[in-house]
Copies of this chain bind each other. A is one copy, B any other.
Amino acid sequence: MSNCSGESNMSDVLKLAQKFNCFYLSGFRTSECKPFIVQGFQVGLIRPDVIKQLLSFPEVFHFNQDCVELNPAFRDYDTRSVKVDEVLKELKTKNVFMTLKGWRDECYEVKTQFDTPSLLKMDRSATCLFGIRNYGVTINGFVRHPEQGQCLWFQKRSASKQTWPGKWDSMVSGGLSVGHGIFETVYKEAMEEASVPDNLLKNLKSAGCVSFYFESERGLFPNTEFVFDLELPIDFIPVCSDAEVECFEILPITECLRKILSQDYKTTNAPVVLDFLVRHGVVTPENEPDYIKIIELLHVPLQTIYWHRNKIKENGFGANEIQGSQ
């Protein structure tokens, strides 16, 4: 079938939406990656280069043609977490995966769905090796300026950061690590990254979430970000209380699209800003020909994307036929 979607004429914004969904739109098609199964449930996907290394640990990972399974003899959360951690630390020593050089000593939970109990925890530098779904929070810090109109704050990440050093990012963001809830994390990060005082944080408004599936040389990133809008007074200046941030900048929202399209913007933060620009009437169906496709690509079905594969194997259904069913 010839291309009927006008691909060659696609907008820069659609290209960006395809870039932060590069795995969803290409790698996910192939059967190169194998489902990662824990206690009978798919929780991730593993690339061939990672499988090759895991083959050295047959007492921890079991392999067959269809999937990689964590040894089902590990019956509880603590055992599973310890056994996987031992493998990861050995791989870190062997120096085979660049992502493990950024070992965090901070874990993410590994779950079937966001609201189901965790099956194990894993250092956050390692989750991309297994395609584990990550969850984070982001604050769009904005100002209503009397002359410049609505303006949005950005931070430049420190050059010493393990991931995306020196790239532009949202004013505040952070991953949901073990033991920390959504609102707890967003308050903590607002304080640490931008020194937002409590009296301003009371204006924080939950505004949705974005879901996308990115891939880089480091690994696979199925990511859902909980999005918050925070209106700030025009005289507030964010200040970082640790060494994570190089500087902050504020831009009129009409200039933000250009900002996130630039090469020095963190690709995996662009969806949050794009969603902000859609919700606040900057990107509209009048000025963006690929408006609907872009909004669909801000919300790809990550909560059901793995579950399907389990069902396919069991029932022989095509995945499109149970898309989104739960």
Contacts and interface: CB of A to CB of B under 8 A. Distances in A.
Interface string A159-203: 000000000000000000000001100000000000000000000
Looking at chain A's contact residues, the main secondary structure is mixed
Contacts of A326: 5, 7, 10, 18, 25, 293
Given A5-B113, A286-B206, A312 B320 contact: yes
Q: Give the interface size bracket for A toward B.
A: 35 or more
Interface string A309-326: 111101001111111111
A304 B226 CA distance: 25
A325 B326 CA distance: 23
A63 interface: no
A286 B114 CA distance: 13
Contacts of A299: 295-296, 298-299
Interface stretch (A82-90, A96-104, A277-285): A277-285
B24 A311 contact: no
Contacts of A298: 299
Contact of A309 (B286, B295, B320): B320
A323 B304 CA distance: 12
Contacts of A64: none
A325 B291 contact: no
Contact of A290 (B7, B10, B115, B308): B115
15 contacts: A1-B311, A4-B112, A4-B113, A7-B326, A25-B324, A29-B325, A113-B293, A114-B291, A115-B290, A206-B284, A206-B285, A296-B304, A296-B324, A312-B320, A320-B323
